[in-house]
């Protein structure tokens, strides 16, 4: 890269010669702020900095206070500038950061100047995508970064940070190693079948490696639903017959009136949702239509949706009247008493006796919910298959490994091909195969500055 410095009098002198795919974007939150950060990445980053400042590039990775100027040489701002030459940068390309004062006028002026110099606005997730393409991180680590930015609770933060740090990568690299060890045993029999010093049943030595890989992948898949629950949040359905007190209980759990309550049966016809954080995880409570047979088409549809929500929920609270016997499977029974909530019936491990209107028993219900969430979902914040894409890749790899195990004795050549398919699926998990459309789908959900 040239060290030629554009003159102070004509800082735009080199602009016409600038070419290449260099991007820029606001990486901090938009709007008025004390400091806003503009990020640059690509082969023109260094030349753009020199044109902005009229000086040579600063010492790499050392903040430097410099004036930046527009095309007429007038000062736009005096920001901190950091220079990250390739490959020691976030994207693996030449990168820079410009820490300007966070006014809209300054940001628009700097963006306009960068556009004049031949840079273009980054697309959503383009910085992180370039980091993946240059081998600075794999796709699971990039997804962990996106999840970290979106994290709303402590559990989500811990899980995202784990995956961003490469914990899932370490797991799938272990699977790759076991499959490759098994493949080596099979190839030994295929390639050296006529050699006297190669055992006849060498391919059977692959079985322990493949079984270890199979068991580990199966275990990861069994926890995938819980891992996704940490990432996406838990669904808790509140079900029961009309007028059991479901809407009143939802309001009591949330601490405000989010659902309409009425003595008239069938008030709730659609699902009413409200969010809370319990045991460090986001929880969505769903108040549902009262379960009963109805000739009213709208109410009948509400009942259908209620049953579907209960089937899909992570936890179900069945609200029953004081004299009613529970008639549905549920994780928690809330026996809604009349009057002030006093009752001779004690609460049990899965039944809370209380009164939704007065609030009696609601605290105990929340404590029980927290206990169940901790029992079922705590400890899964570490590396996990947290996305449908993860599950699809490893499910395919698991099937291929299982088929290969069955073919070891009869068709080692076919078993070898199955294992190559398993490795291909793991490569797809890592983002190392030809998956342009997958990249487009994943990175389109990132914020612009990432």
371 known member of a binding site:
no
449 known member of a binding site:
no
289 known member of a binding site:
yes
386 known member of a binding site:
no
246 known member of a binding site:
yes
| Residue in this structure with the two tokens 């030994």, named with its chain if needed | 188
55 known member of a binding site:
no
244 known member of a binding site:
yes
266 known member of a binding site:
yes
**Backbone phi, then psi, for 102, in 5-degree steps?**
-90, 60
50 known member of a binding site:
no
437 known member of a binding site:
no
359 known member of a binding site:
no
39 known member of a binding site:
yes
247 known member of a binding site:
yes
CA triple 229-430-404, angle to 5 deg: 95
73 known member of a binding site:
no
264 known member of a binding site:
yes
Residue ranges of the binding site:
39, 97, 136, 243-248, 262-268, 287-290, 450
Residue ranges of the binding site for GTP:
243-248, 262-268, 287-290
Residue ranges of the binding site for Mg(2+):
247, 268
């Amino acid at each position: 890269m040239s060290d030629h410095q554009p003159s102070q009098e004509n800082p735009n002198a080199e602009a016409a010669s600038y070419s290449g795919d260099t991007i820029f974007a606001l990486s901090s939150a938009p709007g008025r702020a004390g400091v806003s950060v503009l990020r640059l990445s690509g082969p023109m980053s260094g030349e753009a900095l020199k044109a902005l400042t009229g000086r040579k590039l600063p010492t790499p990775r050392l903040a430097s206070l410099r004036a930046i100027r527009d095309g007429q040489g007038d000062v736009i701002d005096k920001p901190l500038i950091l220079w990250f030459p390739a490959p020691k940068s976030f994207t693996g390309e030449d990168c820079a950061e410009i820490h300007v004062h966070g006014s809209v006028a300054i940001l628009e002026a700097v963006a306009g100047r960068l556009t004049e110099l031949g840079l273009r606005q980054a697309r959503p997730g383009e910085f992180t995508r370039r980091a993946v393409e240059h081998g600075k991180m794999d796709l699971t680590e990039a997804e962990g970064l996106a999840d970290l930015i979106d994290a709303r609770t402590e559990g989500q933060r811990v899980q995202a940070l784990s995956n961003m740090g490469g914990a899932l990568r370490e797991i799938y690299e272990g699977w790759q190693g076991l499959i490759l060890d098994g493949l080596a045993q099979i190839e030994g029999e295929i390639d050296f079948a006529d050699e006297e010093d190669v055992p006849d049943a060498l391919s059977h030595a692959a079985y322990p490696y493949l079984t270890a890989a199979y068991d580990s992948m199966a275990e990861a898949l069994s926890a995938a639903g819980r891992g996704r629950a940490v990432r996406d949040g838990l669904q808790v359905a509140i079900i029961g017959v009309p007028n059991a007190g479901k809407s009143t209980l939802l309001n009591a759990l949330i601490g405000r009136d989010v659902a309409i309550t009425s003595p008239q049966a069938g008030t709730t016809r659609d699902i009413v949702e409200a969010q809370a954080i319990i045991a460090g995880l986001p929880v969505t409570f769903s108040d549902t239509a009262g379960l009963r047979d109805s000739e009213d088409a709208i109410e009948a549809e509400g009942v259908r949706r209620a049953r579907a929500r209960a089937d899909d929920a992570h936890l179900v609270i069945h609200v029953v009247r004081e004299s009613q016997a529970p008639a549905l499977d549920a994780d928690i029974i809330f026996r809604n008493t009349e009057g002030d909530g006093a009752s001779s019936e004690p609460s049990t491990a899965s039944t809370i006796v209380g009164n939704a209107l007065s609030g009696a028993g609601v605290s105990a219900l929340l404590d029980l919910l927290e206990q169940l969430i901790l029992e079922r979902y705590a400890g899964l914040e570490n590396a996990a298959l947290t996305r449908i894409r993860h599950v699809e890749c490893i499910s395919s790899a698991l099937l291929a490994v299982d088929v290969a195990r069955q073919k070891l004795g009869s068709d080692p050549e076919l078993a070898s091909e199955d294992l190559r398919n398993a490795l291909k699926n793991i490569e797809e998990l890592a983002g190392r195969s030809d998956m342009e459309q997958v990249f487009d789908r994943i990175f389109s959900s990132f914020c612009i500055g990432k």
